[in-house]
Structure 1
Amino acid sequence: MQVDLKDWLMRSFTEPRAVARELMALNLPNETRFQAMVLVVVMSAILGTLAQMVFTVITKLDLGELTSPLMVVGLQASLLLYGAFAMSFVGQRAGGSGSYSDALLLLTWIEFVLMIGQVIQVVLMVFFPISATIMSLLLVGLMFYLLVQFTMELHGFTNPLAVAVGVILTFLGSALIAGIVLVSTGLVQMPAAPMPS
């Protein structure tokens, strides 16, 4: 199958399920899928750091020390690896048949699409700083839309509403578990309750 990134990128907005189907049909080796994930995550981290620098210069706001790109890479890679697990595991429990490797490939593509959105965001930020917030909201909406569509294609589901609810519940459940783990391991401290006067 001929790979046309521009065509896939454009059709991710209009035919996301077809794009997901074509991506999975490539049957890429697991090593290649992992390398693609690392490449996209590194590029996204660099772009995110650049966006933070541009926003600071334009708005004159002191956002504190820049987040280390290496830390961003580690965090995003961990989220993609876990997200692929959740996407495949929860879907399989609901009767789907998608694999972990395909889930990782689809999430990597979503990250790539969002990265292109970040490029547009940085460009717009130079001329219209207020657009940064609007663009961020649009990217979140795009991520949710693609996640629902790709999950449907991955597992062969046909009800977008049920998948959307499943995505939201999985996200909330994952956030709750992550919070419990972070607090229990001492990585995050709970605020102390105020003493009665």
Structure 2
Amino acid sequence: MIPAQIGDLVVLTLRDPAAALRVLQGERLPMSVRWMMLGLAVTLSTLLSTLSLLLFPVAPGDAMGELFSVPLTLAWVQFGTIALAALCMTVVGRLFGGRGNFPDALLAIGWIELILVGLQAMQLVLMLLMPASANLMFLIACALFLYLVVAMTKALHGFTSTPKVVVGFVGSLFVLGFVLSLIAAALGILPEVSP
């Protein structure tokens, strides 16, 4: 794809995520390229996060902030979380009668992450120029993420009910959050809570 086509695909994704997913699937990208797309999204996001931490350092004693201030740790956590999200998108969708597969879920999630990297860059610029509006950009990014994940999950699995996909997504987030917190606790990376 040339840059102009990528720009058109971004616009199509915002207008009609299902059509954008069909275009991406039509490219028939090999699995290695899908993993590279995810790797590119994580790398760019980590670079922007590191730059953000250099410009706006975390407060001393913020355990999670200090943990994620190590770029390699942040990159691996992001990569693992996004890959796990693609797996959940596949498995949960299949449990409810969907027809999607992991390679296409990875493609959808990787593309969504690349779009969010663009918003992350805009948020960083706004933090420098108009700090108050950076929070608004964060809310827009969260809303866009939810919109794209729900729309692409529907398209991936052939679902027709948006409310059911939203409920499935929220339920999956709770289960995934619980599992990740158990893993974090087992590895000893959760911050200590003072009594």
Common fold: TM-score over 0.5: yes
Matches of 1:7 and 1:173, distance apart in 2 = 36
Alignment partner of 2:113 out of 92, 111, 114: 111
**Cross-structure match for 1:52:** 53
Name which of structure 1's ranges 146-155 and 35-44 shifts more when overlaid on structure 2: 35-44
The alignment partner of 1:175 has SS state of helix
**CA distance change for structure 1 residues 2 and 116 in 2, over 3 Å: closer, same or farther?**
closer
2-structure distance, mates of 1:80, 1:96? 20
Aligned length: 188
Question: What's the CA shift for 1:53?
Answer: 2.8
1:165-186: CA deviations, max 9, x gaps? 1100000111112222333454
Which residue is 2:101 aligned to?
Answer: 99
1:43 aligns with 2:44: yes
* Cα distance between partner residues in 1 of 2:82 and 2:142: 15
Which stretch shifts more, 179-188 or 142-151?
Answer: 179-188
2:126 is the alignment partner of 1:124: yes
Residue 178 of structure 2 corresponds to: 176
User: 1:63 is matched by which residue type in structure 2?
Assistant: A
Structure 1 distance, partners of 2:73, 2:183, is 19
Distance between the aligned counterparts of 1:170 and 1:183, measured in 2? 20
Equivalent position SS for 1:116: helix
Deviation at residue 62 of structure 1 after TM alignment: 5.4
Provide closer, same or farther for how the CA distance between residues 80 and 186 of structure 1 changes in structure 2, counting only shifts above 3 A.
same
* Counterparts in 2 of 1:62 and 1:106: CA distance versus 1, 3 Å: closer
Name which of 157, 165, 168 aligns with 2:167: 165
Q: Residues 132, 170 of structure 1: CA spacing in aligned structure 2 closer, same or farther, 3 A cutoff? A: same
Q: 1 CA distance for matches of 2:74 and 2:131? A: 23
CA contact (8 A) 1:114 1:139 kept: yes
Structure 2 length-normalised TM:
0.88
Q: Is it true that 1:12 corresponds to 2:13 in the alignment?
A: yes
Q: Which consecutive unaligned segments of at least 5 residues does structure 1 have?
A: none
Q: 2:63 maps to which residue? A: none
Amino acid corresponding to residue 112 of structure 2 in structure 1? I
RMSD: 2.1
Question: Amino acid of the residue matched to residue 136 of structure 1?
Answer: F
User: 1: CA distance between counterparts of 2:32 and 2:163?
Assistant: 34
| Aligned-pair identity (%) | 31
Alignment correspondent of 1:188? 190
Q: Kindly report structure 1 stretches of 4+ aligned residues shifted beyond 6 Å.
A: none
Rg bigger for which structure?
A: 1
